[in-house]
Amino acid sequence: MQNQLEMLRIFKAVAESSNFKEASIRLGISPQSVTRAIKELEERLGEPLFYRSTRNTTITEFGKQMALKSEGVIEQVDALFQLHQHAQTPQAIAGSVKITMPNTFGRQYLLPALTAFSKDYPNIQLDLRFSDLIDNVVADQMDIGVRIGFFSNNRNVARRVNEIKFSIVGAPELIAKTGVPKQVSDLCAMPYTGLIDQNTGRMWSWSFASEPDCFPTNPAFITDDIEAELSAVLAGIGYGQLPDFICEKYIKTGQLVTVLEDQSPAPWGIYVYRPQRGPVAERVRVLFDYLAKTLADIKFG
């Protein structure tokens, strides 16, 4: 059984977005939690709040009246509970926050941002763990995680804040030697690199917009480190399918050239997440929101 105020908060988010999934992302909870809360609230009130179909969600007339009557109530209650929180200055918020993040992306984008955060919150101790392995944030006692890819773990509160695009690139000297690949089958007959997924020990597949995924069968260069792969591509050893955040500056300087642009795969999401458990310490909440905003503001490319 859920707290009435929390159910009202969830109802308000769904009413404003007309979408259960968007409301769950906005609130940092699972879509299932949103569905359960709305169902329980409807049972308590004895009236449907939304009409649901496989395609859309529409608020009922009773739901509209409920939304009008509840307007301002949540804000007033939140204001009462936040009096103490707002009284805390950045200097007064203290304690340790343990964060896990990908190696290259973390060093390139998160480390500078966290250095700035430390200056504003000098009494929050940052414990940074760089790893390309998928962590179990609960078992590893992490407070916050940042990951790139496809996030489907409902045990965590996750927020998709940005996305990473991928490009197929090659060095000018390699292109002069092989010619420009016109289609995926051309590329497969040319030298290319392979990146090992550290979580599985297998090579990452190459994904394309309109062609099936392709697993490298005979790469000219294999590594489990994306920076080493970048070095190999820059040296003209083979073509690589690389995230734009690592290769964009070399494309701009002409050291790398994009090929098969119409076959770029779907972007990968950037997620900030934390364990879905109890109350959130102020130091964790502040840093979670800071990372979400910082990453959302980054313009890649």
Give the tens place of pLDDT for each residue, 227-272. Answer: 999 999 999 999 999 999 999 999 999 999 999 999 999 999 999 9
Q: Does residue 87 surpass a pLDDT of 60? A: no
Same domain, 170 and 254: yes
pLDDT at 137 over 90: no
Boundary residue ending a domain (60, 85, 110): 85
Check whether residue 276 and residue 148 sit in a common domain. Answer: yes
pLDDT at 85: 55
* H-state helical runs in 142-281: 172-178, 184-188, 226-234, 244-253
User: Which range of residues forms the domain containing residue 32?
Assistant: 4-85
Of 11, 20, 13, 16, nearest in space to 57 by CA: 20
13 and 154, same domain (yes or no): no
Do 282 and 136 reside in the same domain of the chain? yes
For residues 147 and 177, membership in a common domain is answered with: no
Residues 78 and 117 in one domain: no
Structural domain count of the chain: 3
Pairing verdict, β 166-170 and 257-259: antiparallel
pLDDT of residue 88: 67
pLDDT, one tens digit per residue, over 19-55 is: 888 888 878 888 899 999 999 999 988 889 998 877 7
Is residue 3 over pLDDT 90? Answer: no
Q: Read off the pLDDT band of 57 (50, 70, 90).
A: confident
pLDDT value of residue 187: 93
Name the token pair of 27: 């609130």
Is the same domain home to 49 and 124? Answer: no
125 and 52 in one domain? no
Is residue 160 located within the same domain as residue 170? no
